[in-house]
Structure 1
Amino acid sequence: MTDGGNSAPGTGIGAGPGGGADSPVDLRPAARRTAALVTRVEDAQLDDPTPCTEFAVRDLLRHIGNLAVGLQYTARKELGEVTAAAPGSAGDQPLPDDWRERLPHQLADLAVAWSAPGAWTGTTQAGGFTLTGTEGGLVTLDELVVHGWDLARATGQRYDVDEESLRAVHGFLAGAVEEDGEQGIFGQIVHVGKDAPLLDQVVGLAGRDPGWRSPAA
């Protein structure tokens, strides 16, 4: 998922919101933030690289659109072909011509789906993996926060994250680090130190270098 589809979480991973609480997190701030970033991407930037080494900007935008649609099914527990598909399986689809208008609407619908009663409860599925509702919600939030950072960094935009979203994603990712302290949900961790800003810690846990800058910038 966050790594572009090379790996995916399984049941029982990570911690709840805030490192263990059971209450859901409001996904609307993260969805609005990512949507705003999308609308400011320039056509000339679509082939630029991103912190996801296998993605150019256009690929990242396509991935964000795919997950914004697919994870609505996860929230609604409409299990089937969409939720059973492996992460990245729709990666060869072209970026739609109306992506600047379409993606923000899809992201808004995603946040609405995860605000519905029952979305964070019970059992669901994403990327072919069975998850609790809480895990599904945190996977979705992680996608929004980390891919929002990816897009902002790739296109030279400012990226500010609300504290609730950032702490929830940090707790989720930190809770899934393997015993060796080197592998997380999405592969090799980039160590940044406990005194680093929380956003840098989250980015490192997601396998990104917080110091990454686009060579096109």
Structure 2
Amino acid sequence: MTPMPDLAPASRRMAALLANVPDHRLTAPTPCADTSLGALLDHVNGLTLAFTWAATKNFPDGGSQPPSADASNLPPDWRARMPERLDALAAAWRSPDAWQGMTKAGGVDLPGADAGNVAMNELVVHGWDIARATGQPYEVGEEEIDSCLAFVAPAVEQSDGKGIPGLFGPAADVPADATALDRLIALTGRTPTWTPPA
């Protein structure tokens, strides 16, 4: 059996990034087209909960809905609540049972192992988005990138690199000597050299 990747490093990194997001940056742009930093944080807050439910296979009444991306939905106590949710997410995916059988995330049925890799990808790629939008350094472990690519690479191949509506845009070009992280970011339709507008 393939070893289960550990979501804890990506969860902790995300929490550290959030701790350094100043309030005045919440309206700032991100590498996600037409998505402010506040809207992206709302999305991360929702997906953290959705993928914790996916791991435990314990869903609220009404099931798991796709996470929103609306800054007005960001709870006032997000600075305290989101790190706690990220810890719970990482803990839930430490259970071997999380990676077995079928589950749901955002209203979609998928195998547990796939859901775990999608959760990792959400943490790693949106962590990069937040780091870029706020000018914070960002480094990712090889195991995390491998887990992300297990989800992203086949999805991009199936779309012929043209992008998948609601997931990511057309794959961007990168130089031959691009880092593994830059390659992953480019596959998700982002420009690895993106910086906030002056």
Question: With structure 2 as the length reference, what TM-score do the two structures score?
Answer: 0.90
Distance (Å, rounded) in 2 between the aligned partners of 1:51 and 1:81 = 32
| 2:105 matched residue in structure 1 | 126
Higher mean C-alpha deviation, range 44-53 or range 170-179: 170-179
| 1:74 matched residue in structure 2 | 54
Choose the corresponding residue for 1:63, options 43, 53, 70.
43
Gaps of 5+ in 2: none
Higher mean C-alpha deviation, range 193-202 or range 55-64: 193-202
| 2:170 matched residue in structure 1 | 188
Shift in Å, 1:174? 1.3
Q: How does 1:35-46 map to 2 (within 5 A)?
A: 35-46=15-26
| 1:22 matched residue in structure 2 | 2
More helix by share: 2
Distance (Å, rounded) in 2 between the aligned partners of 1:183 and 1:22 = 29
The root-mean-square deviation of aligned C-alpha atoms, in Å, is: 1.9
State yes or no: 1:113 paired with 2:92: yes
Distance (Å, rounded) in 1 between the aligned partners of 2:63 and 2:31 = 26
Greater relative contact order (Cα < 8 A, sep 6+): 1
Shift in Å, 1:81? 2.5
Conservation of the 8 A alpha-carbon contact between 2:28 and 2:133: yes
Conservation of the 8 A alpha-carbon contact between 1:70 and 1:82: no
| 2:197 matched residue in structure 1 | 215
Distance (Å, rounded) in 1 between the aligned partners of 2:185 and 2:99 = 24
The one-letter code of the counterpart of 1:187 is: G
> Which ranges of 4 or more aligned residues in structure 1 deviate by more than 4 Å?
none
State yes or no: 1:158 paired with 2:158: no
Conservation of the 8 A alpha-carbon contact between 2:10 and 2:124: yes
User: How many pairs are equivalent?
Assistant: 194
The one-letter code of the counterpart of 1:81 is: G
Return closer, same or farther for 1:55/1:179 CA change in 2, 3 Å cut-off. closer
Shift in Å, 1:177? 2.1
Gaps of 5+ in 1: 1-20
Residue 131 of structure 1 aligns to a residue whose secondary structure is strand
Residue 155 of structure 2 aligns to a residue whose secondary structure is coil
Higher mean C-alpha deviation, range 56-65 or range 166-175: 166-175
Question: With structure 1 as the length reference, what TM-score do the two structures score?
Answer: 0.82
Shift in Å, 1:88? 3.7
| 1:178 matched residue in structure 2 | 157
Distance (Å, rounded) in 1 between the aligned partners of 2:158 and 2:90 = 33
Residue 157 of structure 2 aligns to a residue whose secondary structure is coil
| 1:50 matched residue in structure 2 | 30
